Amino acid sequence: MTGVPIDPTSDATNRTKPQPRLRDEDMVACPTCDALHRLTDLPDGARARCVRCHTTLSAPRRGAMTRIVMLAATSMVLMMAAIFFPFLELTAAGITQRSSIMDVVLVFADGPFVGLALAVGALIILLPLARFLALIYVLAPMAFGSRPARDAVPVFRLAEALKPWSMAEIFIVGVAVALIKVAGLATLTIGPAFWAFVLLVVVTTLKDTFMCRLTIWKTLEERSK
Amino acid sequence: MQIDDMENLGRTQQVAAASAVAHHVMTAREAGLVGCANCGRVHRAPVPANCLRCGRPLFDRARARSLQYVWSWLFAGLIAYIPANLYPMLRTNTLGSTSESTILEGVVELIHHGSYLVAAIVFVASIAIPIAKFVAISYLAIGIQQRKRGHAHERHKLYEVVEFIGRWSMIDVFVVAILAALVQLDFAATINPGIAAISFSLSVAFTMLSAQSFDPKAIWRLTDTT
């Protein structure tokens, strides 16, 4: 489906050609600027943008839901590896310090920093995990063509709301900066969890590019009937 | 208006239809419909309280007063940003001597070490982006309050940039967390987080909430009525 602007003054759209009254389902209002568009079928791989503010309205990909479910499942496995394997190893003055991601979270766990420990844990582990779970819960039944799961609508809204708060990719840049900061101080070895985390960021980014929100919302609505 | 984007449709007759409406874009509001700000579904009278597709409230009272929310979160962010710069972000302990460094001192230290790229990343993420965000959000909010009509495209772009880039300020907090986890080598060297890590995180979160409270439709609503 795609956006064609609807305009009362335009002959091309609705005066000369008598058109059947547009159903609500055949229209979409741009979520960011409210411009009204008529929906038509969009060829696979195309991208429809709002005529006014250029926000992407729809970008359907064939088999996207199956792919998103699989990539989200992959992300969950990678996250487990990233949490439990050693992340970085530091050697200086004969002492070796091995840290996992859990250590990074727990650094803040004493005194006034407890809140920060919870926040960092949420931002880099819990919220990304919650988002993967929510996406699998909503999209897996739809990928197999069945009815949406119970409460799929609020769960998908939650997944959308979590997106700006899952900061795995920012954490990776933070790791890069930290590595350069200690490089002069000690010898560093990168552990398997680091690579799992890098891969996680790549997979998550890939997953988000497949995601067409409008298609998912429309499918949810149609299947719920 | 922006006919080039319609090439994405891959259909010539639709491109022709689009060029006929080059001057005015009709909004759902003008058509007597209510469009959902989350999923774009349109609703006719009698309009339900919540979107029929995604369940988001259509007449969000928070949205109607959204500028108040934008300003409150922005001021909260600004207040938290002051201690974030005055108090130490990092406490380094090497062989018994302790040194503390604020965000800015951390950047200066990196420059002395010759790590210009990293210094630039930290400077942009922890100083340039937050300040630019305060200015940009104030500018957008004042624009709405003064019922400004011009530069809608530019202002909308600015809003998108602010929304996209805000979360990247968290880099420095993660750097502190990683350093403190890594460098715990007893008396040889230890790194601990400073109190500024807390206020800086709060500042980032508050300004993110401020940007999220901003309703981009308000930028366009005034151009609609011309």
Decide if A34 and B27 are in contact by the 8 Å CB cutoff.
yes
Q: Is residue A199 part of a domain?
A: yes
Query: What's the pLDDT score for residue B115?
Result: 81
Q: Are residues A94 and A153 in the same domain?
A: yes
pTM of the model: 0.82
- What single letter denotes the amino acid at residue B192? N
Q: Is residue A141 part of a domain?
A: yes
CA A159, CA A207: separation in Å to the nearest integer?
13
Residue written as token pair 């109607």: B64
How far away is chain A from the Cα of B92, in angstroms, using its nearest Cα?
A: 12
Comparing CA positions, the residue from B205, B197, B173, B171 lying closest to residue B77 is B205
Note which residues in 177-196 of chain B have CB less than 8 A from chain A: 177-186, 188-189, 193, 195
- The nearest alpha carbon in chain A to B16 belongs to A12
How far away is chain A from the Cα of B36, in angstroms, using its nearest Cα?
A: 6
Q: Is residue A32 part of a domain?
A: yes
Q: Are residues A83 and A142 in the same domain?
A: yes
Query: What's the pLDDT score for residue B131?
Result: 94
Cβ atoms of B89 and B106 closer than 8 Å: yes
For residue A41, give its domain range: 12-58
CB < 8 Å to B133, chain A: none
Q: Are residues A94 and A170 in the same domain?
A: yes
pLDDT at A3 over 60: no
CA B37 to chain centre: 18
Q: How many domains does chain A have?
A: 2
Q: How confident is the model at residue B74 (pLDDT cuts 50, 70, 90)?
A: very high
Decide if B40 and A12 are in contact by the 8 Å CB cutoff.
no
pLDDT digits (tens, 9 = 90+) for A177-213: 888 877 777 777 888 888 998 999 899 888 888 888 8
Cα of first residue to Cα of last residue in chain B, in angstroms, is: 16
Query: Other C-beta atoms within 10 Å of A81: how many?
Result: 15
Q: Are residues A45 and A27 in the same domain?
A: yes
The pLDDT of A80-107, averaged and rounded, is 79
Query: What's the pLDDT score for residue A129?
Result: 93
pLDDT digits (tens, 9 = 90+) for A119-154: 888 898 899 999 999 999 999 888 887 788 888 889
Domain with A146 in it: what CATH number?
1.20.140
CA B85 to chain centre: 20
Query: Other C-beta atoms within 10 Å of B48: how many?
Result: 11
Q: Is residue A20 part of a domain?
A: yes
The pLDDT of A103-116, averaged and rounded, is 76
pLDDT at A71 over 50: yes
pLDDT at B195 over 80: yes
Of A20, A43, A58, the residue at which a domain comes to its end is A58
Contacts of A30 by beta carbon, 8 Å cutoff, 6+ apart: A3, A36, A37, A50, A52, A53, A55, A57, B35, B40
pLDDT at B226 over 70: no
Q: Are residues A113 and A150 in the same domain?
A: yes
pLDDT digits (tens, 9 = 90+) for B86-143: 999 888 887 778 888 899 988 998 888 888 888 898 899 999 999 999 999 999 999 8
Q: Are residues A115 and A167 in the same domain?
A: yes
Q: Are residues A71 and A53 in the same domain?
A: no
Query: What's the pLDDT score for residue B224?
Result: 59
Q: Which residue has the higher pLDDT, A189 or B158?
A: B158
Comparing CA positions, the residue from A28, A8, A29 lying closest to residue A19 is A8
- Proportion of chain A above pLDDT 90, given as a percent: 14
Query: What's the pLDDT score for residue B73?
Result: 94
Query: What's the pLDDT score for residue B13?
Result: 36
Query: What's the pLDDT score for residue B128?
Result: 93
Positive or negative, the Cα torsion across A140, A142, A145, A151? positive
Q: Is residue A33 part of a domain?
A: yes
Query: What's the pLDDT score for residue B187?
Result: 63
Q: Is residue A126 part of a domain?
A: yes
Q: Is residue A5 part of a domain?
A: no
pLDDT digits (tens, 9 = 90+) for B29-51: 888 888 888 888 888 878 888 88
Decide if B177 and A35 are in contact by the 8 Å CB cutoff.
no
CA B167, CA B144: separation in Å to the nearest integer?
24
How far away is chain B from the Cα of A118, in angstroms, using its nearest Cα?
A: 11
The pLDDT of A96-114, averaged and rounded, is 76
Q: Is residue A4 part of a domain?
A: no
pLDDT digits (tens, 9 = 90+) for B176-188: 888 888 777 666 7
CA A30, CA B12: separation in Å to the nearest integer?
22
- What single letter denotes the amino acid at residue B30? E
Judge residue A191's burial from the number of C-beta atoms within 10 Å of its C-beta, 0-12 exposed, 13-18 middle, 19 or more buried: middle
Q: Are residues A109 and A17 in the same domain?
A: no
Q: Are residues A103 and A187 in the same domain?
A: yes
Q: Are residues A50 and A68 in the same domain?
A: no
Query: What's the pLDDT score for residue A221?
Result: 84
Pull the structure tokens for residue B191. 């790194």
Note which residues in 138-177 of chain B have CB less than 8 A from chain A: 153, 156, 163, 167-168, 170-175, 177
Q: Are residues A29 and A86 in the same domain?
A: no
Q: Are residues A136 and A210 in the same domain?
A: yes
CA B190, CA B93: separation in Å to the nearest integer?
5
SS (H, E, C) chain B: CCHHHHHHHCCHHHHHHHHCCCCCCCECCCCCCEECCCCCCEECCCCCCECCCCCCECCCHHHHCHHHHHHHHHHHHHHHHHHHHHCCCEEEEECCEEEEECHHHHHHHHHHCCCHHHHHHHHHHHHHHHHHHHHHHHHHHHHHHCCCCCCHHHHHHHHHHHHHHHHHHHHHHHHHHHHHHHCEECCCEEEEECCHHHHHHHHHHHHHHHHHHCCCHHHHHHHHCC
Query: What's the pLDDT score for residue B110?
Result: 84
Q: How confident is the model at residue A107 (pLDDT cuts 50, 70, 90)?
A: confident
Q: What is the dihedral of CA A43, A217, B208, B193, to 10 degrees?
A: -100
